[in-house]
Amino acid sequence: MDIDYSGSFVALITPFKDRKIDEKKFQELVEWQINQGTNGLVPCGTTGESPTLSHEEHERVIDLTLEVANGRVPVIAGTGSNSTEEAIRLTSHAEKAGANSALVVMPYYNKPTQAGMYSHFKAINDSTNIPIFIYNIPGRSVVDMSIETMVELAKLPNIIGVKDASNDPTRPTNLRIALDGLKFTQFSGEDPSQLGFMAAGGEGIISVTANVAPQLMSNFHSEWKNQKIEEARNIQERLMPLHNALFLETSPAPVKYAASLMDVCSSEVRLPLVEPLQETKIKLRDALEKLQLIGKRA
């Protein structure tokens, strides 16, 4: 079955309650996302606080997502690690659980060379049969996969695309040229720059903002697909104060606080993350009010 990897995919937050996963709130969030028009679900990414989830919790969150989605929208399971063996284990679980594909982050902290990056992803490719997206995020992993390495990986049978959080506006175009017609999906990983990314050849976004504004994010991509550029631009301009506010501090602390204002879940994050500063909270509330996602204060 061909999967439509385009539009607004949400990088799901993981709700917590008293330091444990709030499974009820999480599944309500997933159902709400689908009802609001979100095109796909991405559990256990950076936004889902995957670094502080145990292996058992990680697998449970993927299972909970698949249970609610029930085939209605694609699920790209976050399965990355800076340990190749651990990434293989998590990716194998996602495959067995029924995820449509896996999102594998660049090996962080280890600082592998381009040859090491290639070998890491090739080992996962060779050990599983699930489609794999590379998650290139230099700001978190320190290393940046070159276009040349990505093209070589794109030749492998299971490597089908990238979530690009390099924030390099020329990257989508340069990658398209280097791919020379090879099919490879490009997702943006940066909400504030999604308009330019789509214009440069992107197919969609894996979004933090969609956790709290799923319908607006979905509408942006619908307008873009229908070549209603001015309408898409207007939506992006309306969303920009929220995009900016959500990244004033380390994600997902701001988006979890925003979600708490909407009664989506608690604002609880796991250490070493902490709740946003008061000035950030004020800007988040203002942005949500302007979009009429919450009521105005009396």
Catalytic residue among 25, 163, 256, 281: 163
Is 109 among the catalytic positions? Answer: no
Which two tokens mark 223? 């307008």
Strand order in the sheet with 76-78: 40-42, 7-11, 204-207, 185-188, 159-164, 132-136, 101-105, 76-78
Phi, psi for residue 165 in degrees, rounded to 5:
-115, 35
Catalytic residue among 5, 118, 135, 257: 135
Is 135 among the catalytic positions? Answer: yes
Q: What is the C-alpha to C-alpha distance for residues 282 and 242, in angstroms, rounded to an integer?
A: 12
Could you tell me if 239 and 291 are in contact, meaning their C-beta atoms sit under 8 angstroms apart? yes
Kindly write down the DSSP assignment for every residue of 98-140, as one continuous string: T-SEEEEE--TTT---HHHHHHHHHHHHHH--S-EEEEE-HHH
For residue 107, what are the contacts with CB-CB under 8 A and spacing of at least 6? 81, 82, 83, 84, 116, 117, 120, 141, 143
Kindly write down the DSSP assignment for every residue of 22-51, as one continuous string: -HHHHHHHHHHHHHTT--EEE-SSTTTTGG
Q: Are strands 159-164 and 101-105 parallel, antiparallel or unpaired?
A: unpaired
Please list the active-site residues. Answer: 135, 163
